[in-house]
Homo-oligomer: A and B are copies of this chain.
Amino acid sequence: MLNVRILRCRSALIRECMAEFLGTFTLLLFGCSAAAQVKTSNEKNGQFLSVNMAFSVGVMSAMYLTKGISGAHLNPAVSLSFCILGKVKWGRLLPYSFFQVLGAYMASAMVYLVYYDAIMEYSGGELTVYGQNETASIFATYPKEFVTVGRSFLDQVVGTGLLLLCILCLDEKRNTPAPPDLIPPIVAVIVLGISMSLSANCGGAINPARDLGPRLFTLTAGWGTEVFTCYNYWFWVPIVAPLLGGVLGSFIYLIFIHWQLPDEEPPENLLTFSSICDKTKHVNIITEKGNEVKTAQF
Protein backbone atom coordinates (compact mmCIF):
# COMPACT_ATOMS: atom_id res chain seq x y z
CA MET A 1 0.00 0.00 0.00
CA LEU A 2 1.74 3.15 -1.28
CA ASN A 3 4.98 1.89 0.19
CA VAL A 4 7.04 4.96 0.99
CA ARG A 5 9.59 3.31 3.24
CA ILE A 6 11.51 6.55 3.26
CA LEU A 7 8.91 7.89 5.64
CA ARG A 8 9.75 5.31 8.27
CA CYS A 9 11.21 6.81 11.42
CA ARG A 10 14.73 5.62 12.14
CA SER A 11 14.24 5.74 15.88
CA ALA A 12 12.27 2.86 17.39
CA LEU A 13 11.40 5.10 20.34
CA ILE A 14 9.76 7.69 18.11
CA ARG A 15 7.85 5.01 16.23
CA GLU A 16 6.58 3.59 19.51
CA CYS A 17 5.66 7.01 20.88
CA MET A 18 3.75 7.76 17.68
CA ALA A 19 1.87 4.50 18.20
CA GLU A 20 1.08 5.26 21.85
CA PHE A 21 -0.07 8.73 20.78
CA LEU A 22 -2.40 7.41 18.07
CA GLY A 23 -3.63 4.56 20.25
CA THR A 24 -4.58 6.77 23.17
CA PHE A 25 -6.07 9.26 20.72
CA THR A 26 -8.27 6.52 19.27
CA LEU A 27 -9.27 5.23 22.69
CA LEU A 28 -10.34 8.66 23.91
CA LEU A 29 -11.99 9.61 20.62
CA PHE A 30 -14.34 6.65 20.96
CA GLY A 31 -14.91 7.14 24.67
CA CYS A 32 -15.30 10.90 25.05
CA SER A 33 -17.39 11.17 21.88
CA ALA A 34 -19.79 8.65 23.37
CA ALA A 35 -19.84 10.61 26.62
CA ALA A 36 -20.64 13.75 24.64
CA GLN A 37 -23.30 11.97 22.59
CA VAL A 38 -25.07 10.58 25.65
CA LYS A 39 -24.86 13.72 27.79
CA THR A 40 -25.76 16.32 25.18
CA SER A 41 -28.65 14.18 23.91
CA ASN A 42 -29.97 13.72 27.46
CA GLU A 43 -29.58 9.95 27.01
CA LYS A 44 -31.76 9.99 23.87
CA ASN A 45 -28.83 8.82 21.72
CA GLY A 46 -27.40 6.32 24.16
CA GLN A 47 -27.08 5.59 27.84
CA PHE A 48 -24.47 5.14 30.54
CA LEU A 49 -23.84 1.60 29.29
CA SER A 50 -23.05 2.78 25.77
CA VAL A 51 -20.32 5.08 27.09
CA ASN A 52 -18.75 2.11 28.85
CA MET A 53 -19.05 0.08 25.65
CA ALA A 54 -17.54 2.83 23.49
CA PHE A 55 -14.46 3.07 25.73
CA SER A 56 -14.24 -0.70 25.46
CA VAL A 57 -14.39 -0.62 21.64
CA GLY A 58 -11.72 2.08 21.79
CA VAL A 59 -9.44 -0.22 23.78
CA MET A 60 -9.86 -3.03 21.24
CA SER A 61 -9.27 -0.80 18.23
CA ALA A 62 -6.29 0.97 19.78
CA MET A 63 -4.70 -2.35 20.69
CA TYR A 64 -5.03 -3.79 17.18
CA LEU A 65 -3.59 -0.54 15.84
CA THR A 66 -0.53 -0.35 18.05
CA LYS A 67 0.18 -3.68 19.78
CA GLY A 68 2.69 -4.71 17.12
CA ILE A 69 4.65 -1.48 17.50
CA SER A 70 4.57 -0.31 21.12
CA GLY A 71 2.69 -3.08 22.92
CA ALA A 72 -0.40 -0.89 23.21
CA HIS A 73 -0.05 0.28 26.81
CA LEU A 74 -2.33 3.32 26.27
CA ASN A 75 -2.04 3.91 30.00
CA PRO A 76 0.89 5.12 32.17
CA ALA A 77 -0.25 2.75 34.92
CA VAL A 78 0.22 -0.16 32.51
CA SER A 79 3.58 1.18 31.34
CA LEU A 80 4.81 1.55 34.95
CA SER A 81 3.69 -1.95 35.91
CA PHE A 82 5.32 -3.44 32.82
CA CYS A 83 8.57 -1.61 33.64
CA ILE A 84 8.54 -2.99 37.17
CA LEU A 85 7.78 -6.46 35.84
CA GLY A 86 10.71 -6.13 33.48
CA LYS A 87 8.56 -6.46 30.39
CA VAL A 88 9.47 -2.94 29.17
CA LYS A 89 12.64 -0.84 29.49
CA TRP A 90 12.46 1.92 32.12
CA GLY A 91 13.54 4.38 29.45
CA ARG A 92 10.16 3.97 27.80
CA LEU A 93 8.09 5.01 30.81
CA LEU A 94 8.28 8.80 30.57
CA PRO A 95 8.13 9.13 26.76
CA TYR A 96 5.21 6.70 26.55
CA SER A 97 3.34 8.48 29.33
CA PHE A 98 3.89 11.89 27.74
CA PHE A 99 2.56 10.81 24.36
CA GLN A 100 -0.35 8.99 25.98
CA VAL A 101 -1.37 12.22 27.71
CA LEU A 102 -0.82 14.14 24.48
CA GLY A 103 -2.99 11.69 22.53
CA ALA A 104 -5.74 12.04 25.13
CA TYR A 105 -5.46 15.84 24.92
CA MET A 106 -5.73 15.87 21.13
CA ALA A 107 -8.68 13.45 21.19
CA SER A 108 -10.49 15.75 23.62
CA ALA A 109 -9.89 18.65 21.28
CA MET A 110 -11.31 16.65 18.40
CA VAL A 111 -14.37 15.66 20.43
CA TYR A 112 -14.87 19.31 21.37
CA LEU A 113 -14.70 20.34 17.72
CA VAL A 114 -17.15 17.64 16.61
CA TYR A 115 -19.63 18.24 19.46
CA TYR A 116 -19.15 22.02 19.81
CA ASP A 117 -22.72 22.84 18.71
CA ALA A 118 -24.20 20.15 20.93
CA ILE A 119 -22.15 21.21 23.95
CA MET A 120 -23.17 24.84 23.46
CA GLU A 121 -26.82 23.83 23.05
CA TYR A 122 -26.72 21.63 26.14
CA SER A 123 -24.73 23.93 28.41
CA GLY A 124 -26.38 27.11 27.19
CA GLY A 125 -22.93 28.40 26.28
CA GLU A 126 -21.57 28.19 29.80
CA LEU A 127 -18.76 25.67 30.22
CA THR A 128 -19.03 24.65 33.87
CA VAL A 129 -17.78 21.92 36.16
CA TYR A 130 -20.68 21.94 38.62
CA GLY A 131 -24.43 22.01 38.26
CA GLN A 132 -27.16 20.64 36.03
CA ASN A 133 -25.64 21.64 32.73
CA GLU A 134 -22.02 20.85 33.55
CA THR A 135 -20.12 19.49 30.58
CA ALA A 136 -16.65 18.99 32.11
CA SER A 137 -17.46 15.34 32.90
CA ILE A 138 -17.66 14.64 29.17
CA PHE A 139 -13.88 14.87 29.20
CA ALA A 140 -12.22 14.29 32.59
CA THR A 141 -13.61 12.36 35.57
CA TYR A 142 -15.02 13.94 38.74
CA PRO A 143 -16.05 12.39 42.07
CA LYS A 144 -19.57 12.29 43.47
CA GLU A 145 -20.21 14.92 46.16
CA PHE A 146 -20.50 12.38 48.97
CA VAL A 147 -17.29 10.47 48.12
CA THR A 148 -14.30 11.26 50.34
CA VAL A 149 -10.81 11.64 48.85
CA GLY A 150 -9.61 8.47 50.56
CA ARG A 151 -12.57 6.53 49.19
CA SER A 152 -12.00 7.69 45.61
CA PHE A 153 -8.30 6.95 45.99
CA LEU A 154 -9.12 3.40 47.10
CA ASP A 155 -11.63 3.15 44.24
CA GLN A 156 -8.96 3.96 41.66
CA VAL A 157 -6.40 1.67 43.29
CA VAL A 158 -8.85 -1.26 43.23
CA GLY A 159 -10.02 -0.57 39.68
CA THR A 160 -6.54 -0.35 38.20
CA GLY A 161 -5.35 -3.28 40.29
CA LEU A 162 -8.19 -5.37 38.91
CA LEU A 163 -7.23 -4.33 35.40
CA LEU A 164 -3.61 -5.45 35.72
CA LEU A 165 -4.57 -8.61 37.60
CA CYS A 166 -6.91 -9.64 34.78
CA ILE A 167 -4.75 -8.76 31.77
CA LEU A 168 -1.39 -10.10 32.97
CA CYS A 169 -2.59 -13.71 32.79
CA LEU A 170 -3.86 -13.50 29.22
CA ASP A 171 -0.60 -14.36 27.45
CA GLU A 172 0.90 -16.76 30.00
CA LYS A 173 1.60 -19.99 28.13
CA ARG A 174 1.82 -22.04 31.32
CA ASN A 175 -1.69 -20.99 32.34
CA THR A 176 -4.74 -20.98 30.01
CA PRO A 177 -3.71 -18.17 27.64
CA ALA A 178 -6.18 -16.34 25.44
CA PRO A 179 -5.65 -16.57 21.66
CA PRO A 180 -2.82 -14.08 20.97
CA ASP A 181 -4.78 -12.52 18.11
CA LEU A 182 -7.90 -12.07 20.26
CA ILE A 183 -6.30 -10.43 23.28
CA PRO A 184 -7.50 -6.94 22.21
CA PRO A 185 -11.24 -7.78 22.37
CA ILE A 186 -10.72 -9.73 25.60
CA VAL A 187 -8.93 -6.82 27.28
CA ALA A 188 -11.74 -4.61 25.97
CA VAL A 189 -14.31 -6.80 27.74
CA ILE A 190 -12.31 -6.59 30.99
CA VAL A 191 -12.25 -2.79 30.72
CA LEU A 192 -15.99 -2.83 30.06
CA GLY A 193 -16.49 -4.88 33.21
CA ILE A 194 -14.47 -2.47 35.32
CA SER A 195 -16.31 0.56 33.98
CA MET A 196 -19.65 -1.12 34.71
CA SER A 197 -18.66 -1.93 38.28
CA LEU A 198 -16.16 0.67 39.50
CA SER A 199 -17.09 3.96 37.85
CA ALA A 200 -19.85 5.19 40.17
CA ASN A 201 -17.66 6.82 42.82
CA CYS A 202 -15.43 8.93 40.60
CA GLY A 203 -15.80 8.03 36.94
CA GLY A 204 -13.47 5.04 36.78
CA ALA A 205 -10.51 6.60 34.97
CA ILE A 206 -8.04 3.82 35.97
CA ASN A 207 -5.66 5.61 33.60
CA PRO A 208 -3.73 8.83 34.40
CA ALA A 209 -3.47 9.77 30.72
CA ARG A 210 -7.18 9.21 30.08
CA ASP A 211 -7.91 11.69 32.88
CA LEU A 212 -5.10 14.26 32.77
CA GLY A 213 -5.16 14.80 29.00
CA PRO A 214 -8.84 15.75 28.82
CA ARG A 215 -8.53 17.79 32.04
CA LEU A 216 -5.71 19.82 30.55
CA PHE A 217 -7.78 20.33 27.43
CA THR A 218 -10.82 21.58 29.36
CA LEU A 219 -8.47 23.93 31.24
CA THR A 220 -7.29 25.45 27.96
CA ALA A 221 -10.68 25.33 26.23
CA GLY A 222 -12.64 27.54 28.57
CA TRP A 223 -13.77 25.49 31.54
CA GLY A 224 -11.27 27.41 33.63
CA THR A 225 -8.98 26.41 36.46
CA GLU A 226 -11.93 24.90 38.30
CA VAL A 227 -11.29 21.62 36.49
CA PHE A 228 -8.18 21.33 38.65
CA THR A 229 -9.25 23.15 41.79
CA CYS A 230 -12.71 21.62 42.16
CA TYR A 231 -13.43 19.13 44.93
CA ASN A 232 -10.40 20.48 46.78
CA TYR A 233 -7.80 19.80 44.07
CA TRP A 234 -9.08 16.24 43.57
CA PHE A 235 -7.40 15.91 40.14
CA TRP A 236 -4.30 14.23 41.57
CA VAL A 237 -6.26 11.12 42.61
CA PRO A 238 -6.85 9.61 39.12
CA ILE A 239 -3.17 10.30 38.41
CA VAL A 240 -1.50 8.79 41.47
CA ALA A 241 -3.94 6.08 42.52
CA PRO A 242 -3.90 4.13 39.22
CA LEU A 243 -0.09 4.04 39.23
CA LEU A 244 -0.13 2.52 42.71
CA GLY A 245 -3.07 0.23 41.96
CA GLY A 246 -1.51 -1.15 38.83
CA VAL A 247 1.63 -2.16 40.70
CA LEU A 248 -0.36 -3.71 43.55
CA GLY A 249 -2.50 -5.68 41.10
CA SER A 250 0.62 -6.90 39.33
CA PHE A 251 2.09 -8.22 42.57
CA ILE A 252 -1.16 -9.94 43.55
CA TYR A 253 -1.00 -11.64 40.15
CA LEU A 254 2.62 -12.67 40.71
CA ILE A 255 1.98 -14.03 44.21
CA PHE A 256 -1.29 -15.88 43.59
CA ILE A 257 -0.81 -17.02 40.01
CA HIS A 258 2.45 -16.40 38.21
CA TRP A 259 4.83 -17.84 40.81
CA GLN A 260 2.49 -20.78 41.36
CA LEU A 261 2.45 -21.94 37.77
CA PRO A 262 4.36 -25.10 36.81
CA ASP A 263 7.63 -24.89 34.85
CA GLU A 264 6.79 -27.55 32.29
CA GLU A 265 4.64 -27.40 29.18
CA PRO A 266 1.11 -26.03 29.21
CA PRO A 267 -1.73 -28.54 29.80
CA GLU A 268 -2.29 -30.85 26.83
CA ASN A 269 -5.57 -29.36 25.72
CA LEU A 270 -3.76 -26.09 25.08
CA LEU A 271 -0.78 -27.47 23.23
CA THR A 272 -1.35 -26.36 19.65
CA PHE A 273 1.05 -26.48 16.76
CA SER A 274 1.23 -22.74 16.47
CA SER A 275 1.93 -22.34 20.16
CA ILE A 276 4.83 -24.69 19.75
CA CYS A 277 6.10 -22.51 16.95
CA ASP A 278 5.83 -19.54 19.24
CA LYS A 279 8.13 -20.76 21.92
CA THR A 280 11.18 -21.82 19.93
CA LYS A 281 11.91 -20.93 16.37
CA HIS A 282 11.84 -24.60 15.32
CA VAL A 283 9.02 -26.98 14.69
CA ASN A 284 9.14 -29.10 17.80
CA ILE A 285 7.34 -32.38 17.83
CA ILE A 286 6.92 -33.50 21.40
CA THR A 287 7.46 -37.24 21.77
CA GLU A 288 5.89 -39.63 24.25
CA LYS A 289 8.57 -38.74 26.80
CA GLY A 290 6.83 -35.53 27.76
CA ASN A 291 9.62 -33.05 28.29
CA GLU A 292 12.31 -34.13 25.88
CA VAL A 293 11.85 -32.28 22.65
CA LYS A 294 13.17 -33.29 19.23
CA THR A 295 13.43 -30.81 16.42
CA ALA A 296 12.81 -31.06 12.73
CA GLN A 297 14.73 -28.77 10.46
CA PHE A 298 14.61 -28.78 6.68
Chain A interface (Cβ within 8 Å of chain B)?
A: 1-5, 7-9, 15, 18-19, 21-22, 26, 29-31, 33-34, 36-37, 40-41, 44-54, 57-58, 60-61, 63-69, 72, 84-87, 110, 113-118, 120-121, 144, 146-148, 151, 154-155, 158, 162, 165-166, 169-172, 174-182, 184-186, 189-190, 192-194, 196-201, 252-261, 266-278, 281-283, 285-288, 290, 294-298
Prevailing SS type, chain A contact patch? helix
Nearest 5 A-B pairs (CB), nearest first?
A: A57-B193, A272-B274, A68-B175, A33-B197, A37-B200
Q: Known pairs A37-B197, A68-B266. 14 more at Cβ < 8 A?
A: A15-B260, A26-B162, A30-B194, A37-B200, A53-B193, A54-B193, A54-B197, A58-B193, A64-B177, A65-B165, A67-B176, A114-B155, A276-B277, A281-B288
Contact residue among B26, B121, B154, B257 (Cβ-Cβ distance under 8 Å from A165): B26
- Pair B29/A190 contact, Cβ less than 8 Å: no
- Pair B151/A116 contact, Cβ less than 8 Å: yes
What is the CB-to-nearest-CB distance from A261 to chain B, in angstroms, rounded to a whole number?
A: 7
Question: Given the known A-B contacts A31-B197, A45-B48, A114-B158, are A278 and B282 also in contact in the complex, defined by CB atoms under 8 Å?
Answer: no
What is the CB-to-nearest-CB distance from A113 to chain B, in angstroms, rounded to a whole number?
A: 6
Some 19 contacts from A to B, beta carbons below 8 A apart, are A4-B254, A19-B257, A26-B162, A37-B200, A47-B47, A47-B49, A53-B196, A57-B189, A57-B193, A60-B190, A64-B176, A65-B165, A114-B151, A117-B147, A118-B147, A179-B181, A180-B270, A180-B272, A181-B270
Contacts of A4 on B, CB cut-off 8 Å?
Answer: 254, 259
- Pair B49/A169 contact, Cβ less than 8 Å: no
Number of copies: 4
- Pair A69/B261 contact, Cβ less than 8 Å: yes
What is the CB-to-nearest-CB distance from A46 to chain B, in angstroms, rounded to a whole number?
A: 6
- Pair B144/A30 contact, Cβ less than 8 Å: no
- Pair B169/A53 contact, Cβ less than 8 Å: no
Contacts of A184 on B, CB cut-off 8 Å?
Answer: 176, 178
What is the CB-to-nearest-CB distance from A292 to chain B, in angstroms, rounded to a whole number?
A: 11
Question: Given the known A-B contacts A114-B155, A193-B30, are A267 and B178 also in contact in the complex, defined by CB atoms under 8 Å?
Answer: no
- Pair B158/A1 contact, Cβ less than 8 Å: no
What is the CB-to-nearest-CB distance from A188 to chain B, in angstroms, rounded to a whole number?
A: 8
A290-B258 Cα distance, complex, nearest whole Å: 29
- Pair B196/A68 contact, Cβ less than 8 Å: no
Contact residue among B68, B182, B198, B258 (Cβ-Cβ distance under 8 Å from A261): B68
Contacts of A46 on B, CB cut-off 8 Å?
Answer: 48-49, 196, 200
Contacts of A182 on B, CB cut-off 8 Å?
Answer: 178-179, 182
Closest residue on chain B to residue A122 by CB atoms? B146
Contacts of A283 on B, CB cut-off 8 Å?
Answer: 273, 285
Residue in A144, A154, A171, A260 whose Cβ sees the most chain B Cβ within 10 Å: A260
